Amino acid sequence: MDDIIQTLAVYALPVIFAITLHEAAHAYAARYFGDSTAYMQGRMSLNPAKHIDPFGTLIIPVLLYVATSGAFLFGYAKPVPVEYGNLRNPKRQMAWVALAGPAANFIMAFLWSVLGILLNAMDVDEPFFLKMAHAGILTNLVVFAFNLFPIPPLDGGRVVTSFLPHKYAYKFSRIEPYGFFIVMALVMLKVLYFWMVPVMSLASTLLQLLLSPLTLLFS
C-alpha cells in the first residue's frame, strides 16, 4: 500500500500538468485559428480544475492501478470543445489544432528532462524529485504517443482526417463514435503496444538529440 501511495504522489504533478497543458494547447490553437468556443467556456486555462474529469482523470486510473498492480493504466481529461467550422481553413487547420496537444506534451517531456539533468548536475540525491522528473518524462511521452494514434477522436485521427481528400475524410470521420471502443479493444489486446513503443522511442531519441548540448555541458 505504501508503494502505491508513493507512486501516486510521484506521478500526481506530472499527470496533472500533462493533461492540463495538453488541453489548454488545443484551446489556444483553436482560438488562434478562429474558433473561440473553448476560450468562451474557460478552457483556455492552466487551471487543472477546468480540464480534470473526476471519473476519467482520477477514479478510473487509480482503480486500474490498484486492480492491476500498475500493469494497466488508462485515463482521460475533459475534451476541449472545438467547432471546426469556425476555423478560417477548417480542413487544414484541424491538423494544427490537433497537433497542439501532443506538441505541448513533447515540450513538457523536454522540460522534465532538463530538470532531471539539473538535479543530477547539482548532486541532488533526493529520490522523490528524481523519480518525479522521470515520471514527467514518461507520462508526457505516453500521452504524446497515445494521442497521435490515427483513430478519431484521438489527435492522430484528426490529423489523418485533415490530410485525406474530402470524400475519404468524411468516411473516415464516421469512425469517431466508435473510436473510443476501438482504441480500448486495441489496448486490451496489447496491439497498441506496437504503436506506442516505436513512437515513444522516436520521441525519446529526438529529446536526447535536443538535450545533448546540455548533457555535455554538465557531464
Catalytic machinery residues: 23
Helix axes 90-121, 193-217, angle to 10 degrees: 50
Give one DSSP letter per residue of 165-177, joined into a string: -HHHHHHHHTTHH
Question: What is the distance between the alpha carbons of residues 114 and 101, in angstroms, rounded to a whole number?
Answer: 20
The contacts of residue 22 (CB under 8 Å, 6+ apart) are 77, 101, 102, 104, 105, 143, 147
Question: What is the distance between the alpha carbons of residues 15 and 141, in angstroms, rounded to a whole number?
Answer: 11
With beta carbons less than 8 A apart as the criterion, state whether 61 and 5 touch.
no
